[in-house]
């Protein structure tokens, strides 16, 4: 067998079609190298660099599930380039035999009235960007590859912080799963190998060069991001496994199959460097969800909002920031509804925010069905470092005020009141009602001697004239206010039982001799 | 002997041990010895306590003040939900409850009041919740009971006299009546405690007075 007549043709970049089958065929794609550097001497890379590839094979389905529409009937996502074909299908569709790459007409013949959605690349890109923002918590070097639904992270420097490779992988996976995505993770010393391993089931995690080579060698060529034609060409000369290629002299490979193939191999093993751009997160984290069906009730917004809040939580966590204020924008067919929510104290926990938002939403009348929603954090606050306080008082204060935010969200700001003492001697002016704020009064409140004179009554109301009591128990005398025009008061305080058995708090105005009721003794 | 031990330790056999001693329930001393004795230690925490009687202002709030002062001393809040009057803070403060520990929640509907109580009761950092409800439905009372059990605070529900005749899921139901200088308390339901006693407890309500006769 001799190679076909295309050895000098560069390896075609295969358009990523999903690759959701059980096999390993064509799960990876090779990006065309933008820079044409000659494959010179193998350059050793630092053994410390470690790359993680997070591949989202079912991103299109995950994105649909975000809006809360979970379906058990067949659902297919259709992409439409030259001819419409299936991009991905849910479990029911796959069970019926519909897989990626199948023509839409064939799929419709097999499935009984499936739900059909358009594949929208720009939506996938925004999801990838959201996830990149979130993955910044695990590494400072994050590089999304939107076309392949893949994100690469440099994790060599994060291992110690996250207590080892296994723990880190588990955390990445858990984080993404909690947000409703289903990731495949590959870890290797080079980005190219990590990409390849992400496509394998139960892939090992070679950390050094030797292990990587050993691991790659038995893999079939189909795991390489090569076109079928190129793979056929290699098979024709008897090269079936990656190991066969690795043993082959690079120069000969380049001569026969173009320079891209040896470059790929060098990048796999780390002999050739591969520089990846760094992802820069947007200044204000803002997450958007578009519904495939309009949502008419505010109750139904809860589930998608939870998704957004979870994303926000992770994004804030990644930046080590927190928020006190969130904005939610609901887009209707014609207009939009803007809502804001401010809390008594900053925080980023999604569950806490969700509770407040649910209360807020339940009291919101939607003018029209909602088509999409966007959650934005405009003011990012630094996380207040809670020093190891012996009595945990600062944490306590935050904990203690959590329920207040809920009550205020439902009943309004003026429903929850605290009292601030003044130093005024007259009981009716001795206190001010104030809406409960996060910070309580700091000044140590004191009771002035004048305020002690009227006794320790518990309840107060404005003075009302009353007939003289039968047997008052005297409490004390209050004189004052002569320096204020018209406020000259001389009162003798007492408490007395009234006819209904109540213990009233009363005083006798010494100027007029008139008795007044001021409140209740207890 | 072994057989007897085995029998006595059988989980299906209930020997009435532990009845009346509310071992598993923590209490807050009420500050009045006769009341503590009647309540087996004090006001139970994590229980819904109904104080039934009227009219407002006979001293039924005052008898709680020693307990509330204890809460405040532990840096726990006292929450008043829809009271019929405004608290006079210097009075509370002189009795040991500083202003920053007092929280007043005003509500317009019974539902809002019950909901607020639920939020407050389930929250740590709250010592006691005092709520005044005129005619709560049985569902509201159940909700309050559940919320009270979920938390650690003392939950007091003040209801008018007529409520004594109605059944209620509250753990502890006490009827009070204003007498001359006293409050007469009658415990007529105490879940998990001794059978209700018929002898009422008398609590003085005029404490905190410093007599200073007018010249």
Q: What is the CB-side half-sphere exposure of residue B152 using CA atoms within 13 A?
A: 9
pLDDT at A79 over 90: no
Domain stop point among A359, A382, A405: A382
3-state secondary structure of B159: strand
pLDDT digits (tens, 9 = 90+) for A149-160: 899 998 888 888
Angle between helices A59-66 and A121-135 (to 10 degrees): 80
0.90 cut: is pTM over it? no
- B75, B104, B208 member nearest A456 (Cβ): B208
3-state secondary structure of B88: coil
Contacts of B162 (CB under 8 A, 6+ apart): none
pLDDT at A18 over 70: no
The residues pairing with B135 across neighbouring beta strands, listed in sequence order, are: none
In chain A, positions 447-506, which contact chain B (CB-CB < 8 Å)? 447, 451-452, 455-461, 473-477, 492, 495, 497, 500-504
Number of domains composing chain A: 2
- B57, B89, B93 member nearest A503 (Cβ): B57
Domain stop point among A334, A356, A382: A382
DSSP string computed for A355-380: HHHHHHHHTPPPSS-EEEEEEE----
pLDDT digits (tens, 9 = 90+) for A102-131: 888 888 888 877 888 888 888 888 888 888
pLDDT category, A68, cuts 50, 70, 90? low
pLDDT at B79 over 90: yes
Residue range A18-26: mean pLDDT, rounded: 37
Residue range A134-157: mean pLDDT, rounded: 88
pLDDT digits (tens, 9 = 90+) for B128-154: 999 999 888 888 898 899 889 888 889
Predicted ipTM beyond 0.90: no
In chain A, positions 40-59, which contact chain B (CB-CB < 8 Å)? none
Does residue B210 lie within any of the structural domains?
Answer: no
Residue range A321-334: mean pLDDT, rounded: 88
Domain stop point among A382, A408, A433: A382
**Contact across the interface for A477 and B56, Cβ inside 8 Å:** no
CATH number of domain containing B169: 3.40.50.300
Does residue B23 lie within any of the structural domains?
Answer: no
Burial A304-313 (b: 16+ CB within 10 A, else e): bbbbbbbbbb
Pick the more confident residue, A36 or A69: A69
CATH number of domain containing A340: 3.30.1490.100
Residue B208's closest chain A neighbor by CA? A456
Distance from CA of B163 to the nearest CA of A (A): 19
On average, the pLDDT of chain A sits at 78
Indicate whether A378 and A451 sit together in one domain.
no
Structural contact between residues A398 and A336, judged by C-beta atoms closer than 8 angstroms:
no
B chain contacts of residue A475, beta-carbon cutoff 8 Å: 209-212
Contacts of A392 (CB under 8 A, 6+ apart): none
Residue range A272-301: mean pLDDT, rounded: 84
Does residue A430 lie within any of the structural domains?
Answer: no
Please give the pLDDT value at position A41: 29
* Range(s) of the domain holding residue A323: 286-382
Number of domains composing chain B: 1
pLDDT category, A54, cuts 50, 70, 90? very high
Distance from CA of A16 to the nearest CA of B (A): 52
* Range(s) of the domain holding residue B179: 35-204
pLDDT category, A437, cuts 50, 70, 90? low
Distance from CA of A417 to the nearest CA of B (A): 5
Residue A493's closest chain B neighbor by CA? B214
B chain contacts of residue A521, beta-carbon cutoff 8 Å: 57, 59, 62, 205-206
B chain contacts of residue A479, beta-carbon cutoff 8 Å: none
C-alpha distances in Å from residue B65, one per residue of A441, B62, B130, B135, B208: 22, 5, 11, 25, 10
**Contact across the interface for B125 and A431, Cβ inside 8 Å:** no
Does residue A472 lie within any of the structural domains?
Answer: yes
Does residue A457 lie within any of the structural domains?
Answer: yes
Distance from CA of A475 to the nearest CA of B (A): 5
Structural contact between residues A417 and A433, judged by C-beta atoms closer than 8 angstroms:
yes
């Amino acid at each position: 067998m001799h190679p076909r007549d295309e050895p000098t043709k560069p390896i075609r970049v295969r358009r990523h079609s999903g690759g959701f089958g059980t096999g390993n065929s064509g799960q990876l794609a090779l990006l065309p190298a933008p820079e044409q550097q000659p494959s010179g001497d193998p350059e050793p890379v630092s053994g410390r660099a470690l790359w993680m590839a997070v591949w989202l094979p079912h991103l299109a389905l995950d994105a649909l599930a975000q809006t809360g529409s979970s379906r058990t009937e067949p659902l297919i996502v259709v992409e439409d380039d030259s001819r419409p074909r299936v991009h991905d299908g849910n479990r029911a569709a796959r069970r019926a035999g519909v897989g990626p790459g199948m023509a839409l007409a064939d799929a419709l013949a097999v499935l009984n009235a499936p739900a059909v959605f358009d594949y929208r690349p720009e939506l996938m890109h925004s999801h990838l960007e959201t996830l990149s923002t979130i993955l910044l918590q695990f590494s400072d070097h994050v590089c999304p590859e939107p076309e392949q639904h893949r994100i690469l992270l440099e994790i060599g420097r994060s291992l110690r912080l996250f207590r080892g490779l296994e723990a880190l992988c588990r955390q990445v996976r858990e984080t993404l799963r909690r947000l409703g995505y289903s990731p495949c993770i590959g870890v290797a010393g080079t980005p190219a190998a990590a990409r390849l391993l992400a496509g394998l089931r139960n892939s090992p995690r070679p950390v050094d060069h030797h292990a990587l080579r050993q691991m790659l060698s038995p893999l079939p060529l189909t795991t390489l991001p090569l076109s079928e034609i190129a793979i056929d060409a290699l098979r024709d000369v008897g090269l079936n496994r990656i190991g066969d290629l690795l043993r082959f002299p690079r120069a000969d490979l380049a001569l026969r199959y173009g320079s891209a193939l040896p470059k790929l191999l060098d990048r796999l093993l780390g002999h050739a460097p591969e520089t990846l751009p760094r992802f820069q997160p947007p200044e204000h984290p803002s997450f958007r969800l578009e519904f495939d069906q309009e949502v008419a009730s505010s109750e139904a917004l809860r589930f998608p909002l939870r998704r957004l809040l979870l994303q926000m939580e992770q994004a804030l966590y990644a930046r080590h920031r927190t928020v006190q204020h969130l904005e939610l924008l609901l887009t209707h067919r014609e207009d939009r509804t803007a809502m804001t929510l401010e809390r008594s104290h900053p925080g980023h926990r999604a569950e806490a925010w969700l509770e407040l938002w649910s209360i807020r939403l339940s009291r919101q009348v939607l003018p029209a069905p909602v088509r999409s929603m966007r959650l934005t954090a405009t003011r990012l606050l630094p996380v207040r470092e809670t020093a190891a306080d012996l009595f945990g008082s600062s944490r306590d204060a935050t904990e203690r005020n959590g329920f207040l935010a809920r009550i205020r969200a439902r009943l309004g700001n003026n429903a929850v009141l605290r009292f601030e003492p003044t130093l005024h001697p007259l009981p009716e002016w001795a206190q001010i009602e104030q809406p409960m704020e996060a910070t309580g009064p700091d000044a140590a409140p004191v009771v002035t001697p004048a305020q002690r004179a009227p006794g320790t009554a518990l309840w107060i109301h404005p003075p009302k004239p009353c007939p003289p009591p039968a047997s008052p128990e005297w409490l004390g005398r209050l004189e004052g206010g002569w320096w204020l025009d018209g406020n000259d008061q001389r009162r003798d305080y007492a408490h007395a039982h009234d006819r209904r058995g109540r213990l009233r708090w009363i005083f006798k105005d010494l100027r007029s001799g008139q008795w007044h009721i001021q409140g209740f003794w207890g | 002997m072994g057989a007897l031990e085995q029998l006595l330790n059988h989980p299906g056999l209930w020997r009435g041990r532990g009845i009346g001693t509310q071992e598993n329930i923590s209490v807050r001393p009420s500050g009045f010895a006769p009341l503590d004795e009647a309540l087996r230690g004090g006001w139970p925490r994590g229980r819904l306590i109904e104080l039934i009687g009227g009219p407002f202002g006979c001293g039924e709030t005052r008898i709680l003040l020693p307990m509330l002062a204890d809460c405040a001393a532990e840096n726990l809040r006292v929450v008043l939900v829809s009271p019929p009057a405004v608290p006079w803070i210097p009075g509370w403060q002189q009795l040991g409850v500083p202003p920053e520990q007092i929280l007043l929640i005003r509500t317009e509907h019974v539902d809002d009041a019950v909901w607020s109580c639920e939020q407050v009761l389930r929250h740590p950092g709250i010592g006691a919740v005092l709520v005044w409800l005129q005619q709560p439905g049985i569902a509201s009372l159940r909700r309050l009971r559940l919320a009270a059990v979920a938390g650690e605070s003392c939950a007091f529900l003040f209801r008018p006299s007529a409520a004594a005749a109605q059944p209620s899921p509250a753990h502890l139901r006490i009827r009070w009546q204003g007498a001359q200088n006293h409050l007469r308390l009658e415990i007529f339901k105490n879940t998990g405690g001794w059978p209700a006693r018929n002898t009422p407890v008398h609590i003085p309500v005029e404490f905190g007075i410093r007599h200073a006769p007018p010249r």
